[in-house]
Amino acid sequence: MRVEVVGKGAVDLAGGSRYGDLVAQLGVPDVLAVAVGDRVLELFRPVEEGQVRLLTFADAQGRQVFRHTASHVLAQAVKRLYPKAQLAIGPATDEGFFYDILFPEPIGPGDLAAIEAEMAKVVAEDHPLRRDEVSRAQALADFERAGEPFKVHLIEALPEDALITTYNQGEFTDLCRGPHLPRTGLIKALRLTNVAGAYFRGDDQGPMLQRVYGTAFPSAAEMERHFFLIEEAKRRDHRKLGPELDLFSFHDVAPGFAFWHAKGLILYEALVGFSRSLQQPLGYQEVSTPWIFKTELWETSGHSAHFTDNMFLMESEGEAFGVKPMNCPGHCLLFAEATRSYRELPLKIAEYGPLTRRERSGTLHGLLRVRGMHQDDAHIFLASEQLGSVIEETLGLVDTVYATFQMPIEIHLSTRPPSRMGDDALWDQAEAALEAALGEERRAYVVDPGEGAFYGPKLDFVATDALGRRWQVATIQVDFQLPIRFELHYVDRDGKQKTPVMVHRAIMGSLERFIGVLVEHFAGAFPLWLAPVQVRLLPISEAERQAAGTVAKALREGGVRAEVDDRNEKIGYRIRAAEKEKIPYVAVIGQREVEAGTVAVRERGGKDLGTIAQGTFTRDLQERIASRWSGPSQLADTDGHGRA
């Protein structure tokens, strides 16, 4: 027989071959299972009709098979140690797996090591897994005899005609749909992480089970890296670093709204300044529009119908108002303020003003999920034939911004959903324009068919941070609908009135959230141009105090954020303090430096740059700040460990 294998082409196989034979014939290493259509199948299953995708641990489905099999290993180990334990369910999760179990006596975290050791034995014994199709009556009898009432419940809950399968490994058999690894020995590294309470099928009237959590990997090194990244993420948590570095804080009386401290506001303003510096040359006009509008505006914009749950609403003098969650309606009013000519298009309106969203208090999460935010938001009004050039220009902004932060970007193109607004001709044109703009620079992108908004197709951007975590950041959305709702027009070349197309775009997105991401990406060690304090001057003794003050003043006059630490502490102590505050440079001034007009410079991370003439030092810093030089940041710190 002949099957098509993704990435490998057609393969001829002997009749009766299994997927494992196919993999062996191809010589592809590390394959855990295969996907055929929307089904994932074990390597010991016979080859069927249909295109085959080989799954490894790098695939989400492959990981799921791997870790779900680890949950069987857990169950087998538990049954060896606690023969009276009753098993419920044991699925894979995003990060590992769990098994819900009723132990004869509740276990505690202290019992996990023994279970883990038994699991290691099951792995070392390298049991092959065997799949059996069984009749309902047989399955009920078997699991009743085995003293597994939860399994009996699960079988009884299956439809009459359901195919029932069991999986056997060594002395242990579990009720399961599969799929699994072919052998337990493939699980080279595993760890149990936690035990918590859980109810069978979430029924709090039923018995309280215990959920044992764990994770598993194909190698010890991969598992080590996983736990390193978890620890590193904790160390970098912006909710911890923000207050530690004196950037921002939150208060109980204003949930979801950040207090920007002086240093945090410097960071914030540096980002806004960066955004302005990119947009001004492209002819963006920055505006400021109201943040509270009468409800009738939200009716025109459609927010009343779709977004009121997310808005703060209020009443004054008998009239209903809403605080703006987005700038778009205000910008439409601005566009309609004057008779617009085709000559003004594309008209680019930018605003960094406050936006408010009524996020539920339980979902708030530091700066990553807030109620009060500011975006690097803009709306571009254009003639439909300008779409291609506008998208291309906007993609350029995304490239520049994320290259500056050293974050790789993944692009998603979401196309027309089944239920949508606007002519198909317009959709054709818009989707083609987006694809053409992406193709122009040969950017790699993923198409998410049918995932566009009802008002137009869109591009979403996912950035990867220094720990390999993915963050949804920029968005470029084409909108045919809002200009119609607001009855927007421009006078075209031929004197006729036409409806513009609108593009919503945010490059950094919510600045609050973006700063949260940056704090974690840089672990608080911001590149020079963003650092709230760029240089700290340290006079060695009382005698150099004045000289240090003079150098600091000159630096500040040159646009460098410099300050003096002349506390009565040893120089080593003050250097360590600056390091802890993640200040990019310290400049030490002793008697020799005063006489020579130099400073002794240390870079963050401990690198000694030697003595530098004061004027040269200032000029170097000015150049590096102006060019948004990306070092020195702590990104290099995690090289070989943290970088994906």
Q: How far is the CB of 644 from Zn ion (least distance, A)?
A: 29
Sole window of 129-137, 251-259, 421-429, 497-505 interacting with Zn ion (rule: CB under 5 A): 497-505
CA distance 318 to 241: 45
Distances from the Cα of 169 to the Cα of 37, 180, 189, angstroms: 27, 11, 18
What is the bridge-based pairing of β-strands 285-286 and 172-175? unpaired
176 lies in the site for Zn ion, by CB under 5 A: yes
β-strand partners of 55: 33
Q: Which residues contact 367 (CB under 8 A, 6 or more apart)?
A: 238, 239, 242, 248, 258, 512, 513, 515, 516, 519
**Closest alpha carbon to 70 in 205, 235, 194, 213:** 213
Q: How far is the CB of 282 from Zn ion (least distance, A)?
A: 18
Q: Which residues contact 191 (CB under 8 A, 6 or more apart)?
A: 116, 214, 215, 216, 223, 227
The angle at the Cα of 211, spanning 206 to 212, to the nearest 5 degrees, equals 155
181 lies in the site for Zn ion, by CB under 5 A: no
Sole window of 153-161, 170-178, 246-254, 380-388 interacting with Zn ion (rule: CB under 5 A): 170-178
Decide: helix, strand or coil at residue 18: strand
Binding mask 498-537 for Zn ion (x = CB under 5 A): ------x---------------------------------
Nearer to Zn ion, 101 or 600 (CB): 101
Nearer to Zn ion, 331 or 536 (CB): 331
Q: How many CB atoms lie within 10 A of CB 34?
A: 29
Residue tagged active-site, from 76, 210, 375, 634: 375
Decide: helix, strand or coil at residue 302: coil
Q: How far is the CB of 36 from Zn ion (least distance, A)?
A: 18
Residue tagged active-site, from 72, 331, 458, 604: 458
**Whether residue 176 lies in the annotated active site:** no
**Whether residue 377 lies in the annotated active site:** yes
Phi-psi region at 201: left, alpha or beta (left = phi > 0; alpha = psi -120 to 50): left
Residue 182 is given by DSSP the state S
Q: How far is the CB of 568 from Zn ion (least distance, A)?
A: 54
**Whether residue 328 lies in the annotated active site:** yes
32 lies in the site for Zn ion, by CB under 5 A: no
CA distance 536 to 559: 14
Q: How far is the CB of 176 from Zn ion (least distance, A)?
A: 3
Q: How far is the CB of 150 from Zn ion (least distance, A)?
A: 14
CA distance 471 to 23: 35
Binding mask 275-314 for Zn ion (x = CB under 5 A): ----------------------------------------
CB–CB of 552/537 below 8 Å?
yes
Q: How far is the CB of 70 from Zn ion (least distance, A)?
A: 10
Question: Residue 215: what are its φ and ψ, rounded to 5°?
Answer: -145, 160
The angle at the Cα of 201, spanning 161 to 217, to the nearest 5 degrees, equals 95
Q: Which residues contact 125 (CB under 8 A, 6 or more apart)?
A: 170, 184, 185
The angle at the Cα of 272, spanning 460 to 519, to the nearest 5 degrees, equals 70
Nearer to Zn ion, 328 or 430 (CB): 328
Residue tagged active-site, from 379, 498, 513, 582: 379
Residue tagged active-site, from 236, 328, 614, 624: 328
Sole window of 174-182, 187-195, 253-261, 283-291 interacting with Zn ion (rule: CB under 5 A): 174-182
Q: How many residues bind Zn ion (CB under 5 A)?
A: 3
Nearer to Zn ion, 76 or 618 (CB): 76
Q: Which amino acid is at 529?
A: W
Residue tagged active-site, from 357, 505, 574, 624: 357
**Could you tell me the sign of the dihedral formed by the alpha carbons of 178, 97, 184, 112, in that order?**
negative
Q: How far is the CB of 229 from Zn ion (least distance, A)?
A: 27
Decide: helix, strand or coil at residue 393: helix
CA distance 449 to 527: 38
73 lies in the site for Zn ion, by CB under 5 A: no
**Closest alpha carbon to 478 in 496, 500, 448:** 500
Residue tagged active-site, from 68, 324, 331, 504: 504
Nearer to Zn ion, 245 or 328 (CB): 328
Q: How far is the CB of 329 from Zn ion (least distance, A)?
A: 9
Nearer to Zn ion, 99 or 585 (CB): 99
In the region spanning residues 585 to 614, those forming contacts with Zn ion, defined by CB under 5 A, are none
Sole window of 171-179, 190-198, 227-235, 367-375 interacting with Zn ion (rule: CB under 5 A): 171-179
Nearer to Zn ion, 45 or 504 (CB): 504
**Whether residue 458 lies in the annotated active site:** yes
401 lies in the site for Zn ion, by CB under 5 A: no
129 lies in the site for Zn ion, by CB under 5 A: no
**Closest alpha carbon to 201 in 98, 113, 100:** 100
78 lies in the site for Zn ion, by CB under 5 A: no
**Whether residue 375 lies in the annotated active site:** yes
CA distance 117 to 105: 20
Nearer to Zn ion, 41 or 176 (CB): 176
Nearer to Zn ion, 13 or 453 (CB): 453
Question: Residue 254: what are its φ and ψ, rounded to 5°?
Answer: -135, 65
Q: How far is the CB of 179 from Zn ion (least distance, A)?
A: 8
Nearer to Zn ion, 129 or 367 (CB): 129
**Could you tell me the sign of the dihedral formed by the alpha carbons of 430, 434, 440, 445, in that order?**
negative
Nearer to Zn ion, 151 or 504 (CB): 504
**Closest alpha carbon to 507 in 413, 404, 627, 399:** 399
In the region spanning residues 319 to 338, those forming contacts with Zn ion, defined by CB under 5 A, are 328
Q: How far is the CB of 167 from Zn ion (least distance, A)?
A: 6
End-to-end CA separation in angstroms for the chain: 40
Catalytic residues: 328, 357, 375, 377, 379, 458, 504
Binding site for Zn ion (CB under 5 A): 176, 328, 504
